[in-house]
Amino acid sequence: MELLYASGLRVSELVKLDIENMDLHSHQIRVWGKGSKERVVLAGLPAIQSIQNYLNLGRPLLKGKRNTPALFLNPTGGRLSARSFQERLDKLAKQAGIEKHVHPHMLRHTFATHLLDGGADLRVVQELLGHSNLSTTQIYTHVTKSQARKVYMSSHPLARPQNNIAGREDE
């Protein structure tokens, strides 16, 4: 879950990852997206630490004697499927008391929204998401109320405190 949110990966990309796709030292992950397009995504320290913990503690227990390049494994040591990931997400959401249906793509949308709220350029977000068209990226972006207010207050001339309508003499 941590990696999906931290990187903006599609769940289909996540479950296709092999160990060799990970460069944990540089926080980079080589991904093959839609149309077999290769791209490099980044992941922050919490996600990298989670992957390291999984590689050191969880994966060896799942792998058993199987020799597989897959990064994420199911309980029998095979590659984790997108459906199994969804089932795990459903279980975690239920444990957290979330009644609304949660799907992996929500993490991708949240990734894009948080980047834009933090001031990221839309074209950079496009690249990180692996979109060919900017219009596709725009679908993923959700302007939060706080971000809309912040931009309005700093950008619109009548929104600034010193420009209240009652005190204006030039109208």
Active site residue 105: yes
Task: Please name the residues in contact with 129: beta carbons below 8 A apart, sequence gap of 6 or more.
Answer: 8, 108, 111, 112, 136, 137, 140
Active site residue 83: no
Annotated catalytic residue, options 5, 10, 16, 59: 10
Report helix angle 82-95 to 104-117, nearest 10: 70
Residue 41's nearest CA partner among 69, 8, 18 is: 8
Burial of 127 from C-beta contacts in 10 A (0-12 / 13-18 / 19+): middle
CA distance 30 to 22: 7
**Which amino acid is present at 110?**
T
Active site residue 131: yes
Active site residue 63: no
Active site residue 140: yes
Annotated catalytic residue, options 66, 91, 105, 150: 105
Annotated catalytic residue, options 34, 37, 142, 160: 34
Annotated catalytic residue, options 140, 145, 149, 160: 140
Active site residue 108: yes
Helix (H, G, I), strand (E, B) or coil at 41: strand
Tokens of 6: 């931290």
> Catalytic site residues?
10, 34, 105, 108, 131, 140
